[in-house]
Amino acid sequence: MRNDPTDFLHIGEQKGYIEFLNEQTTIRYIAPDKKYRFTNPEEQVRAKFYVELIELFQYPENRIDLEVRVPRRTPSDQADIVVFQDDEKKNPFIVVECKKDETSEAEFDQAIEQVFGNCNSLSGHYAVVVAGRTRRAFDVKNHKPGERSENIIAAPPIRYDTVEEWRYRKGDPNWELSIIDRGDLIRVLEKCHQTLWQGGRLTPTDAFDELAKILFIKIRDEKKARRDGEPYDFQIKTRERAKSVANRINRLYREAKIQDPEVFTEDIEIDESRLFSVVNHLQGISLNQTDLDVKGVAFERFLGNFFKGEIGQFFTPREVVEFMVDMVTPHHEELILDPACGSGGFLLHAMDYIRKQASDFYTEGTPEHYTHWHDFAKDRLFGIEVNDSIARVAKMNMIIHDDGHSNVISNDALVDFDTLYNQHRGFGKDKFDVILTNPPFGADIKKTELPYLENYELGKGKTSRKTEILFLERCFDFLKWETGKLAIILPDGILTNSSLQDVRDYIERHYQILAVVSLPQIAFSHYGAGVKTSILFLRKFSEQEYETYQAAINQITKKNEAIYVPRIDALEDERQSIIAKGSPAQVDVTETYRQQFMAILDSIDALNQKLAKTPTKTVQRLSAFFFPEIESTPTTEFELFNAKTARVELKAQTAKLNALEKEYKAAFKAAADPEWESEIKAGYKEQIDVVKEEWEDKNTEDIREWVRENANDPIFMAIAERIGYDATGRKDDVNDLNTICEEYRKFVENPDFFS
């Protein structure tokens, strides 16, 4: 693998091609004996390429000049670098235009026109534009002045030789892909993104989607089996047009989709010229061989620069992620899950933890060392992300870090388990050893929109519930009994709001609370969120512990039910009795009709007794209503000479009773007072609600008391005031999280000492 291009400055200084003066603010080019201000970004680009022309392209330093005046153009116009064919510097061969690394696509195109003008005026053979790692070379002499496509060459010729068809070749000491540092990688990624973003024509996530597809191809091409000396496919060869490059890249992408179908399904959706430019930015670097830590930080920083505000919810600051991973100490045989994985930060840091752990057991670079952490990444890291675009970010992040992407799925982690399991067999209940997550805050899961709310214990009877609350229950379902550990970031409201006591009760009934770490208000300010949060570290109870809790809860619930249900029933009966008697006006109606009913009912009663008949249900009902406390002893005497006469009289009295009841009902209904009835119902509802609330409070307090008496494990608690960065995301040298993690280790070893 060829050296990092930043080394060319060191090489140039060592070999005497250049020297730095005035504390490196000035650079002197020895052979042409010219000095320039090195603080200028364009000068830094020129210095590197100047040494590269000598070392890599093998041109004599005495034939290279700087700031060469261009004839037939304005006096101030000068070529940045010119390589001559003769010692007298009369015959220009290569003309170079240098631009700063952050040059935009439009500025780069302008530089191309500028270098063509200079090269044509100087009668040079080849023209090169260099903007950091983005370069483009042209054969000017053998083509028409306006040609900009068919005369592209892979690279300038070496020492006046012929132009090579391909520049980058596997194993070639001069033309192997470069390992790069973090800063260079960030700049390359940013340039690619800006090219694809097209000044706002695509959204940031759409632009990243396209970049992710191209990075995916780039990495696969680097890993493709090829012999030393064979060219890489991901590059622009000599005299190749944008259409040809696009066709090759699209072919590689289609092959990759077949071999790895779960990563991308859509085609590349950018035009040929944009794709050509992105290939130009990326072709000379090795993503595969660049150090994992460099790639990790660079990719994270690149993502952070482009995805903030609303999209920022998908990113948890690195310092917080590292702390949570260190606290749970994952093992290489454990299954790790993040059900709200965003860009994959927790999964990647868990992988990195195991990668460093591998060095404790095996020598770095050995197959055993690689297998230890790589198999963990491939088989034991799982993620769910509801946003499809961000899920692709996570997959791409995993691929860049050398795999693990195949266990990341895009779905709502709160849907039923069958849906998740059918999408990927790895997502089952009671399965995972460790869950690390920062669930989305504040979003309402509404029963009318997402019916699965009723499937959750914390959702039953609710019209809506916050996502972070349901995630507590979903994580419980995912974790293994007894040993499963959860590290979760939650808003402080869950720990403090009186209205969320049921959520705290749920936590105590399902988990052992290992630790609670309070984060400062600024923890997520950099990503546009100001909510105060804490990190909970929990252990899922064993089945026996859980059943013991449930049995105790059921016993407490039954005991209190026996006390409070009769009180509620008595109030219900009392309310029904009052409403049955009616409003004050209806009571007056009843009193008005009472004597008439009593006279008829008395006669019917006497006749029934004379005939030895049982009173009808209507008679019994009306008798109980109009004179319930009067003994049924008739006062009416009938002189009846035979049963037939008695039956006729009974029939007449019954008809009279029915007519009177009909008249009474109409009068009773007319005297109804809906407002009075509503007041009675509301009053009794209030009384019943008071009893229910008292019942619920008593139940909660009894359960809480039982928990206090039976779950008295010590809890580690800490407050982090400074966490390695400030509200703007700038680095802070103080990080309380490191100290807290150390203290927690001591606590785990000797909790009695802390208590």
Q: Is 743 helix (H, G, I), strand (E, B) or coil?
A: helix
Q: Strands 444-446 and 434-437, how do they pair?
A: unpaired
Q: Is 21 helix (H, G, I), strand (E, B) or coil?
A: strand
| 672, two tokens | 């109804």
Residue whose C-alpha is closest to residue 20's, from 49, 43, 53: 43
SS (H, E, C) 206-253: HHHHHHHHHHHHHHHHHHCCCCCCCECCCCCCCCCCHHHHHHHHHHHH
Please state the separation of Cα 98 from the chain's center in Å: 41
Please state the separation of Cα 265 from the chain's center in Å: 21
Contact between residue 673 and residue 681 where contact means Cβ atoms under 8 Å apart: no
Which amino acid belongs to residue 557?
T
Residue 425 CB: number of other CB atoms within 10 A? 8
Residues 6 or more apart in contact with residue 231 via CB below 8 angstroms:
165, 166, 167, 168, 169, 170, 237
The Cα 660–Cα 657 span in angstroms is: 5
Residues in the chain: 755
| 305, two tokens | 């620069």
pLDDT at 186: 86
Residue 619 CB: number of other CB atoms within 10 A? 18
Q: Is 733 helix (H, G, I), strand (E, B) or coil?
A: strand
472-477 contact pairs (CB < 8 A, 24+)? 472/503, 472/506, 472/507, 473/506, 474/339, 474/413, 474/414, 475/339, 475/435, 475/437, 476/510, 476/511, 476/540, 477/417, 477/429, 477/430
Helix axes 388-400, 204-223, angle to 10 degrees: 30
Sheet containing 34-37: which strands, arranged edge to edge?
18-21, 26-29, 34-37
Residue whose C-alpha is closest to residue 409's, from 430, 432, 427: 427
Which amino acid belongs to residue 77?
D
| 602, two tokens | 């008395």
Residue whose C-alpha is closest to residue 319's, from 13, 605, 739, 39: 739
Q: Is 267 helix (H, G, I), strand (E, B) or coil?
A: coil
pLDDT at 517: 97
Residue whose C-alpha is closest to residue 48's, from 171, 133, 164, 122: 133
The Cα 736–Cα 719 span in angstroms is: 8
Beta bridge partner(s), residue 83? 64, 94
pLDDT at 524: 84
The Cα 329–Cα 318 span in angstroms is: 16
The Cα 600–Cα 652 span in angstroms is: 10
Residue written as tokens 């807290």? 740
The Cα 473–Cα 10 span in angstroms is: 57
The Cα 740–Cα 753 span in angstroms is: 16
Provide the sign of the torsion angle of the four alpha carbons 120, 123, 127, 129, taken in this order. negative
The Cα 499–Cα 493 span in angstroms is: 9
First CA to last CA distance, the chain:
56
pTM over 0.75: no
Angle at 723 between CA 495 and CA 387, to 5 degrees: 65
Max Cα separation, the chain?
A: 158
DSSP 193-205: HHHHHGGGTS-HH
Start-end of H helices in 513-582:
543-581
Provide the sign of the torsion angle of the four alpha carbons 364, 366, 368, 373, taken in this order. positive
DSSP state of 519: P
Residue written as tokens 């009695």? 752
Beta bridge partner(s), residue 37? 26
What pLDDT, in 10s, does the model give residues 522-577?
998 766 667 899 999 999 999 999 998 889 989 999 999 999 999 999 999 999 98
The Cα 231–Cα 670 span in angstroms is: 99
Residue whose C-alpha is closest to residue 66's, from 88, 24, 36, 99: 36
The Cα 236–Cα 614 span in angstroms is: 109
Burial label for 643, CB within 10 Å (0-12, 13-18, 19+), is exposed
Which amino acid belongs to residue 475?
C
| 142, two tokens | 């053998």
| 333, two tokens | 């045989």
Residue whose C-alpha is closest to residue 188's, from 317, 113, 115, 286: 286
| 611, two tokens | 């005939």
Residue whose C-alpha is closest to residue 473's, from 492, 446, 454: 454
Which secondary structure element, helix H or strand E, spans residue 35, and what is its range? strand 34-37
CA distances from 390 to 76, 345, 387, 394, 528 (A): 50, 12, 5, 6, 17
Q: Is 31 helix (H, G, I), strand (E, B) or coil?
A: coil
Beta bridge partner(s), residue 512? 539
| 396, two tokens | 């791409």
Residues 6 or more apart in contact with residue 587 via CB below 8 angstroms:
581
Which secondary structure element, helix H or strand E, spans residue 465, and what is its range? strand 464-466
Start-end of H helices in 237-314:
242-259, 272-282, 292-306
| 85, two tokens | 């064919």
Contact between residue 487 and residue 328 where contact means Cβ atoms under 8 Å apart: yes
Residues of the chain with pLDDT under 50: 1-6, 309-312
Angle at 158 between CA 156 and CA 159, to 5 degrees: 120
Residue whose C-alpha is closest to residue 223's, from 170, 151, 278: 170
| 446, two tokens | 């509404």
